A and B are shown apart, each in its own frame.
Chain A
Amino acid sequence: MVSTTLAGARCSTTLKALGAVGNNVPVYLTLTSAALSPDQNATDLGYLLHKHPDRAQEFGVTAGTAHVFYPEADEHRCTVALLLEVDPIALVRGRRRGGGRSGDGLTLGQYVNDRPYAASSMLAVALGKVFRTALAGRCDARPDLVDRPLSLDVHVPSLPGGAELVRDLFEPLGWQVDASPVPLDETIPEWGPSRYVDLRLTGSQVLSQALSHLYVLLPALDDAKHYWVTSDEVDKLVRAGEGWLAGHPQRELITRRYLKHQRELVETATSRLLEAEDVPVDLAADEPAPRPLVALRKEAVLAALQESGAQRVVDLGCGEGALLRWLIDDARYGEVVGADVSPLALSRAEKRLNLDRMPDTQRARLTLLQSSLTYRDDRIAGYDAIVLMEVVEHLDPDRLPALEQTVFGHARPKTVIVTTPNSEHNVRYEKLAAGAMRHPDHRFEWTRAEFRAWADGVAAMHGYATAYSPIGEDDPEVGPPTQMAVFTRREAVAT
C-alpha cells in the first residue's frame, strides 16, 4: 500500500531522507480531542483511531518504527501521539541497492540531516499506515462517530515550511492556525527563524478529514519527498484530497509539491480532481501571457546567426541545450557543437535532445563536448560562429582575459555573439532588491556602457567589429533587459 519505489538511479537524487547513523529519534505529532458537551466522551477518539488509549503500540513502517500512545485520555480530553523513530540505515541501504551512481551523494548531508526530527512525508506515510481505517472514514465498532465533527487540537512541533504558507494551506480548510517560527539557534538571534514552525491547529473537524489534511499537506510543506513519485501517487492524492483539495485556493502548489514537481503527473491529478468536483478543466488559464525573455533571447541569437551566414556553429556554455535544439532543427547549420563545462548539464542536454533516438543525419551534425571558457581548446577553433548566450556574467571579472584569449584569440570564429543582462534594467524587477543581481551565480552584471566598453576593447585588440542590439522591450530610460553584441572578424590584411 505504501508506494516506496526505491529502484532506479533517480532515487539517488530524489531521496534526500537519509538520516545520520544512529539518529533514529522521533518525529512527533499529537492530536487532541476535547469533549464539547456532556454527551460526548473524548476517549471515543480511541474507537475512531482503532487504537486503545491504555496501550502503547508500535508498527513497522518503511521509514522505521511508528509508536502510538496516549499522553492523556479521559472523558474530557484525549490526546493521541504518533512518534516515528526513523531508521536511516534502511534508507541508506535502499539507496545503495537502488544502484545510484557510485559516489553520488557522498556528502555529509547524507549523514547528518533533519529527517529524523522534522514532520515530513515519512510522518505522512506512517500516519497513512497506522491510522488507515480512520483516514478512510471507517469505524466498524462505532459507525455513528465517523461523520461527527470533533473539537480537535493538532500539535506538530517541528514542521518544515514558513508560517505564512502553513496558514495559507490550513486556514482555508477551517482550521485555526497557530504557527510560531522556531528560531534557528536561540543563542544566535541574528540568524533568525529556521525553516520550521511549531504548529498548533484547532478546529471542529471530522477526524478522517483532519487526517487527510495532514496526510496531504505535511509532505507538501516539506517539499522533499523521501521516495520516488509514481503515477499511483496520483490515485492516493485524489483519494485523500476528496472533498477539499479541488476547491483549495492553493490546489496548484499542493499538487505540484505533493507530486514532486512532475508536470505530467500534476496535470493528470489536477484534471481528475476537477472532474470529480464537476469543475470545468481549463489548465491553460494560468499560463502567463507575455512572451518570456528566454524565447526573445533565443530568437535574437538565431536571427543574428542567420544574418552572419554561419553554417558551423559552437554554442559555448550550452547548458542543457535550449539553443541546440533549434540549431539542429535548422538544416542550414551543417555542424553544431554544444560545449559546456558541466558534465551534468551535458548529460541532461543529451537526454533532452533525445540524442539516442535522433536520426543519423541529424545526429552527425551535432557534437557535445566538455570545454571551459578559461582553457583554450583546439576543438572549438575554426568554426564560423561562437555563441556566448548569458555566459560571460558567470565568470569572475579577472578571468575574462582568459575567455577573450580562448574565444577571440585562439578559436577566432568569423562571428561571436554575446548576450548578457543589462544591469540598468534591474530596477524594473520589483522583486529584485536594489543592487542585487538576477542570479546567485552572476559574478557581475553590466550596464550598457560597461558592456560596450568591454566589447569594444576586445574587438579592437583581436581585430573584430561590433554591433549592438537590445533584446526584450527597450525601455527608454533603463534600456532592454538583455543586451547583445555581434562581433565580426575584420579580414586579415594579406601581404
Chain B
Amino acid sequence: MSELAIPELCLVVLVGASGSGKSTFARQHFGQYEVLSSDFCRGLVADDENDQAATKDAFEVLNFIAGKRLAAGRLTVVDATNVQPDGRRQLVELARAHDVLPVAIVLDLPEKIAVARNAERPDRDFGAHVVRRQRDQLRRGLKRLTKEGFRKVHVLSSVEEVDAATIVRERLLTDFTDQHGPFDVIGDIHGCRSELETLLTKLGYAIVRDDEGRPVDAVHPEGRKAVFVGDLVDRGPDSPGVLRLVMGMVGARHGFCVPGNHENKLVRALQGRDVKRSHGLEETLDQLSRETEEFRKEVERFCYDLVSHLVLDDGRLVVAHAGLKEAYHGRASGRVRSFALYGDSTGETDEFGLPVRYPWANDYRGRAMVLYGHTPTPEAEWVNNTMCLDTGCVFGGRLTALRYPEKEAVDVPAEQVWYEPVKPLAPSPGAVVERAHDQLDIEDVLGKRVIETAYHGRVTVHEENAAGALEVMSRFALHPRWLPYLPPTMSPVATSARPDVLEHPDEAFAGYAALGVTDLICEEKHMGSRAVVLVCRDEDAAGRRFGAGDGETGAVYTRTGRSFFSPGLTEELLAGVRESVGKADLWTELDTDWLLLDCELLPWSAKGGELIRNQYAGVGAAARTALPNAVIGLVQAQARGVDIGDLGERTALRAMNADAFTAAYRRYVWETGVDLPPGEAHLDGVSIAPFQVLATEGRTHVETDHGWHLRIADRLVEAAPELFRTTRRLRVDTGAPESTAAGAAWWEAITADGGEGMVVKPYAGLVRTKKGGLVQPGMKVRGKEYLRIIYGPDYTAPEHLARLRDRNLGHKRSLALREYALGLESLTRFAGGEPLWRVHEPVFAVLALESEPVDPRL
C-alpha cells in the first residue's frame, strides 16, 4: 500500500487520459465537495457533460469555484484530464494566487484499459485515438510537472498502484495551532546575547549552560515557551552565542523560532553563495569563524529549516519576522515567505537609503494577533491587534518580549549602543500627528453588516441604514477616537389602560416582574439632552490612550456623536469634570486615567434651542394668536343667537391646551451662555447629571448595580454641586404592593411638579431572563404634560387618547435591545483596548439602527 502525502491545504490536480479512472479515484479519496469535475461543470453550463463546445465556459466556472474554495482555505481537487501544459499552467497560477501549494497526482494507466473503460460508457462515443492522443500529451508533460510549479508529484502507473494508494494529509509546516502556550514572544536580538539572558531571566526562565558556561537552553518553571521573531544575528557582539541558546531551546521544545531576513542571508553566505557582507553580516561571519565547522553546519541547517511563519493557539496568534497580512496566514508561497521576511515594501527608498515599508498593520483587520519585529521602533505599540517587538536593542534601545496571552510587555535595556543606526530611532518631532492606524476604512462600516456581540449574538445592520449613518458620521460626528459608545434608544413602558394617561409606572413594574426582575430602581428623567462625557486625567493620558493632540482631553457628545460645544467650551467643561473626579478620588479608586460617563446635560435648550424655538414655540405662538380670536368670534355669534353647536366649547378647550403645551416646553428653556459668540460663550446655566460609569481603563461597569453608579454620581455632585446635578431615585420591590404604590406616587409627584418622568431599571444593571435573553436595561415612563410636546397639544382629549393607545411598541423594544447589545459590545471592545476599527464597528451600527423607521413619538 502506497501513501501519497499531500499538504492539508493544497490544490490537487488530477492528471490522466479519459478513462484512466480519475473520477473514481477522486470519489474514493476526497470529499464530495472537494472534487471539482470539468465534466460536471460542462453539464452545469450546457446540460451535457461531453459537450466539448462548452469546455471554455466549464473551466471558467470550475476556476471560479476553485478560487472561492482556496480563498476560504479549503483543499480542492480538480478532476479533469489536465494533459495539456496550458491547462495545468492556469491551475498552478490559481494555486499561487491563493498561496497554496499545487500538487499533481498522475494516473498514467496503459492505453487499452482507458479505451476499454470508455467503451463501456455509452455517453463517451469518441474513438480510441482520442485516448491515445491524450496519453501522448501526458507522457510528454510528465517530466516537466515539477518545473511547471507542482510542489509534489505522485505518479500511479498501474491499476494495482491506483488501487493500493491512500492519501495522507499532512499538516502545513506553519501549523502550530495545537500549541497553546503560554508564550513569551521575543523581539529582534541581533547578537545581543547578554541582554537576551537578562530578558529570559526576567521572564522567569532558568538558563541552562554547557561545560564552558555557555547558555544552551532556558526552561520556564511553568512550562512557558519562548517564540523568537527572527533576526537573531548580525551587528551585535555575540551572534553565535544567541544562536546556540535559541537552537538549544528550539531543539528541546522550549521555544520556537521564525527566520528573519538576516538568517535568510546568513544561510546563503554559509552555503558559500556570493552575498554582500553588509548590515552586520561581516561581524557574524567573523564571530562564526571562531566556532567549529560542526557548529557552523548546525547553524546552517537550523536557519535553513526555519518556516516562514507560525500559526499558534488555534489560529489566535501568528508570529512572523516582518509581520503578515491576514490573507497569508497559514499559506505557503514565495510571496508569503518574502512578506514574512521583508514585509511589504512600496518599492521606494527614503532619505536614508532604506526601503520604504508599506504599513500593512494599519490596514490589518484580522482576528489573529500578529507579533513581529524587523523595523526598529522606539516603543512597542499596538496597531490593530498587531505589535512590533523590535525596540532596537542592538542600536542601544531595548530588548522586548510580549507575554501571551497576557498581552504584557517586558523589556530590558541595551547594555550599550552595539551598532550605530543609520536612521535615528526616535521619530522626528511632530512628524506624525495622526495615528495612522486610527484611519478607518470604508469597508469597516459600509454595506450590510452582521456584528457579533458578546451579550446578544448577531446584530444585523442593513445596507441602506449603514449608508445613512455614513453621512451623519462623516459630516457631523466627532473624531471616531472620541466615540467609543453611543447610547441606545429606550422604549417607553407598555401603554396604560388608565383613562387619563398614556403611560404609567404600574406597567413598568408589572413588565419587569413578569420577566422575574423584582428589584428595580426608578431614576428621575432629567429635562435635558442625553450626553456622553469622556474625560481624561490629563493631556498626556489623552494622547497616549486616544491619540489626541491640540490639547484635547476628552469629549462631550450627543446621542448621534456630535459635540455639544465648541472645542473651547468642551475643554472648559472637561476641566470641571476632571477636577471633581480628582476631588472624589476616582482616578485612584477606579485605577484609571480616563472615565466614560453616561449623563443628561441640562437644559434641553442648550442643544435643542433651535428645535424648541422653530417648532414648539412657533406652534404655540400660532395657536395662541388664532384660538383666542376664534373663541371671541364664536362667543359673539352665540350672543347673537346663532346656533354654533359645541364648536365654541371645543375651541375654548383647545385654547387651554395650547397654553398647556406652551407651558410644557417652557420648562425646558433657561438661559445659558453657550450660544454667545466665540470668546464670550460660557457654561453658566449648564449642568450635567451623570447616572452611569460606562467604562474605565481595562473594564466596563455594565454589570455593576445602579446603586454603585449613583453613589459615584453623588460623589461628583458633592465635589461640584454647581456643575453636577443629582439624579433622584427610588428603589422599588415589585413583590411589595406598598413599594410599587410608593413608586407610582413618586412618579405622580415628580410629573405633577412639571418633571419629565422617570426611567425604571433593573437595580442590578445588566439582567437576563430565565431563558438567557437580555432584559431591557430601562423603560421610560413619561409625564402627562411632557407628552403634550410629543403627541400634540390636544392629545389628552378622550377620543384622541383612545386612538393613541393603539401604539405598537414591538419594533421600538427590539431596536432598544439591539442597540443596547451593540453599546455593550463597543464598550467591551473599547475597554479591552481593541483597535479603533473594532470599537467603531458597533458604534457605527448603533447610529445605523437609529435610522430604522420607528414612530418617533415612542
Residues of A within 8 A of B (CB): 19-28, 30, 54-56, 67, 69-73, 79, 81, 83, 102-103, 106-114, 116-119, 155, 157-158, 160, 182-185, 187-188, 190-191, 194-196, 198, 341-343, 370-379, 394, 396, 398-399, 401-402, 405-406, 409-410, 441, 492-495
Contact = CB atoms under 8 A, between A and B. Distances in A.
Given A22-B797, A106-B854, A341-B474, A118 B626 contact: yes
A160 B347 CA distance: 67
A492 B444 CA distance: 30
Contacts of B647: 56, 67, 83
A493 B799 CA distance: 79
A377 B793 CA distance: 48
Contacts of B793: 20, 23, 25
Given A106-B853, A371-B442, 12 more contacts: A21-B803, A25-B626, A26-B630, A28-B626, A106-B854, A111-B856, A112-B792, A117-B619, A119-B626, A373-B474, A401-B434, A409-B436
Interface in B128-178: none
Contacts of A342: 471
Query: Which of B804, B852, B857 is most buried by chain A, counting CB atoms within 10 A of its CB?
Result: B857
A401 B548 CA distance: 12
Contacts of B634: 69, 71, 81, 83
B654 interface: yes
Contacts of A495: 347-349, 353, 355
A401 B654 CA distance: 55
A79 B632 CA distance: 12
A21 B446 CA distance: 37
B445 A72 contact: no
Contacts of A70: 637, 640, 642
Contacts of A343: 464, 467-468, 471
B173 to A, nearest CB: 32
B642 A25 contact: no
B790 A71 contact: no
Given A184-B617, A375-B440, A196 B856 contact: no
A155 B629 contact: yes
A100 B533 CA distance: 38
Contacts of B468: 343
10 residue pairs, one from A and one from B, having the closest CB atoms: A20-B792, A103-B853, A22-B800, A71-B636, A117-B622, A401-B434, A25-B654, A194-B621, A22-B794, A372-B474
A106 B471 CA distance: 18
A71 to B, nearest CB: 4
Interface of B: 346-349, 353, 355, 433-434, 436, 439-446, 464, 467-468, 470-471, 473-475, 478-479, 550, 552, 613, 615-623, 625-627, 629-630, 632-634, 636-637, 640-645, 647, 651, 654, 657-658, 662, 666, 669, 671, 789-795, 797, 799-800, 803-804, 851-857
A399 B853 contact: no
16 contacts: A19-B792, A22-B795, A24-B794, A26-B651, A71-B637, A73-B640, A103-B852, A106-B856, A117-B625, A158-B623, A188-B666, A374-B440, A377-B442, A402-B440, A405-B439, A495-B348
Contact of B433 (A55, A185, A375, A401): A401
Contacts of A25: 623, 626-627, 651, 654, 657-658, 793-794
A81 B642 CA distance: 13
Contacts of B789: 112
Given A401-B434, A405-B436, A185 B620 contact: yes
A343 B848 CA distance: 14
B792 A114 contact: no
Contacts of A441: 475
A394 B613 CA distance: 26
B349 A158 contact: no
A81 B348 contact: no
A395 to B, nearest CB: 8
A22 B439 contact: no
B442 A108 contact: no
Contacts of A69: 633-634, 637, 642, 644
A183 B617 CA distance: 9
Contacts of B794: 20, 22-25
B853 A492 contact: no
A83 B618 contact: no
Given A112-B792, A185-B617, A398-B550, A374 B474 contact: yes
Given A22-B797, A196-B621, A495-B349, A113 B626 contact: no
A107 B856 contact: yes
B349 A56 contact: no
Contacts of B616: 112
Contacts of A81: 630, 633-634, 637
A405 B662 CA distance: 50
A157 B626 contact: yes
A406 B654 CA distance: 56
A108 B856 contact: yes
B632 A183 contact: no
Contacts of B620: 185
Nearest to A495: B349
A494 B345 CA distance: 12
B441 to A, nearest CB: 5
A339 B85 CA distance: 45
B669 A196 contact: no
B146 to A, nearest CB: 34
Contacts of A26: 626-627, 630, 651, 654
B800 A21 contact: yes
Nearest to B628: A157
A178 B642 CA distance: 30
Given A106-B856, A112-B615, A21 B795 contact: yes
Contacts of A158: 621-623, 625-626
A253 B852 CA distance: 39
Given A21-B791, A341-B475, A56 B621 contact: no
Contacts of A195: 618
B615 A113 contact: yes
Contact of B622 (A118, A191, A341, A371): A118
Given A69-B634, A402-B439, A194 B617 contact: yes
B792 A21 contact: yes
A316 to B, nearest CB: 12
A183 B346 CA distance: 66
Contacts of A341: 470-471, 474-475
Given A54-B641, A71-B634, A494 B621 contact: no
B651 A111 contact: no
B442 A187 contact: no
Contacts of A117: 619, 622-623, 625-627, 658
B615 A376 contact: no
A80 B404 CA distance: 87
Query: Which of A20, A67, A102, A371 is most buried by chain B, counting CB atoms within 10 A of its CB?
Result: A20
A79 B434 CA distance: 72
A405 B629 CA distance: 62
A301 B479 CA distance: 30
A494 B645 contact: no
B613 A492 contact: no
B642 A54 contact: yes
Nearest to A370: B467
Contacts of A370: 446, 467, 470
B642 A376 contact: no
B441 A71 contact: no
A332 B58 CA distance: 38
B786 to A, nearest CB: 13
A398 B346 CA distance: 28
B445 A375 contact: yes
A1 B621 CA distance: 33
Contacts of B346: 492
Contacts of A196: 618, 621-622, 625
Query: Which of A118, A155, A187 is most buried by chain B, counting CB atoms within 10 A of its CB?
Result: A118
A9 to B, nearest CB: 15
B632 A399 contact: no
B780 to A, nearest CB: 16
